[in-house]
Amino acid sequence: MAQRPCDGTASRDGTASRGGVAPRGQAGPQAMIDRARGESEREDSRYARERERMVEEIAARGVTDPRVLAALRRVPRHRFVQEALRDRAYGDHPLPIGEEQTISQPYIVGLMSSLLELTGQEKVLEIGTGSGYQTAVLAELARRVCSIERLPRLAERARATLEGLGYDNVWVRVGNGTLGWPDQGPFDRIIVTAGGPAVPPPLVQQLADGGRMALPVGSADNQVLTIVENVGGEIRQRTHGECKFVKLVGKYAWDA
């Protein structure tokens, strides 16, 4: 049996039947796809320029680790903020992400990532997934990232964004970050992206020999960026300047 052509034919009123050419003055499906692709490419190009400018500013402030700067160039920060805030995604400031939480300013993300001194072979524990942006930067730099977020909606959103960008070396779970992730420990590196009154003991216990942790420690309003190292079983601490993060909530931190 002969089949009808799949390219469509014109009807009596001059309009095209399914599969045919669109009426004059109306964009066909392919034209609409091409237009959307062009707009997307222009948008990606604009964000790429803004991202490069962001990285140059971070480098000028003293973050010089080439692997960290390369990771910041690759991760599309605008994908981790609300659409209405995307034009501000590459400014050096935090932005709200809902649930009274924020995405950290890019400089702090670069600084904390560089302080971890990642080589690409480490298993990293992140406390406070938030938007997932810091998680993505870590995923570019480490072998595996285990990230804990106490707020289910943020965890779900971050997981979806990370999966959409193709990160397959990240695990995100909902839980009390101050307790760490004992089943996956010990960790070569630990990063805490919320401020608590002291270093949570379970995190120290899950830090591998030769491991390093970066976290803000201090009051609910102001903290000091602190580096904790496990050197042959001896725990050493040093500070690296003032900072300000949202509160770390949990058994070994602040009440909600």
Any idea which residues carry the catalytic annotation? 104
Return the half-sphere exposure (C-beta side, CA atoms, 13 A cut-off) of residue 213: 32
Q: 3-state class of 215 per DSSP? A: strand
DSSP 97: E
What is d(CA 255, CA 202) in angstroms, rounded to the nearest whole number? 17
What is d(CA 23, CA 16) in angstroms, rounded to the nearest whole number? 6
Where b means 16+ CB within 10 Å and e means fewer, 10-36 reads eeeeeebeeebeeeeeeeeeeeeeeee
Asked if omega into 186 is within 30° of 0 (cis), the reply is yes
User: Which is nearest to 162 in space by CA: 133, 189, 138?
Assistant: 133
Sequence-distant (6+) residues with CB within 8 A of 1 are none
